Amino acid sequence: AWQGLPMVLAGNAMAVHESRLQPLVQACGTDPVTVWPEASAMLTLATLAWQRGQAVPAQDAMPVYVRDDVARTTAERLADKAANA
């Protein structure tokens, strides 16, 4: 269902992973579109969060780590993997 649709890549993904992405680009049959993050997107996300009642007082705000487990040790990751097997 995705064939023929443009592939959208974020940031420098094609430059960094071109050899791995090229087969997917060929399967799509279109040139990939590259998009870059924009600070203004935060306004849209903040508005949606506010509308969903997810706002908190500034003193209670905590960062959300998208890639939170990159700091975990190899041993921790292996232990989690074994526990979930």
Element of type H or E holding 47 = helix 41-51
Residue 72 is given by DSSP the state: S
The pair phi, psi for residue 78, each rounded to 5°, is: -65, -40
Two tokens, residue 20: 């791995």
Q: Over the stretch 39-83, which tens digit does the pLDDT of each residue have? A: 999 899 899 999 999 989 999 988 877 776 667 788 888 898 899
Do 37 and 11 contact (CB within 8 A), yes or no? Answer: yes
Q: Is the pTM of this model over 0.85?
A: no
Q: Over the stretch 10-33, which tens digit does the pLDDT of each residue have? A: 899 989 999 999 998 888 888 889
For 13-46, the DSSP string reads: HHHHHHHHHHHHHHHHTSPPEEE---TTHHHHHH
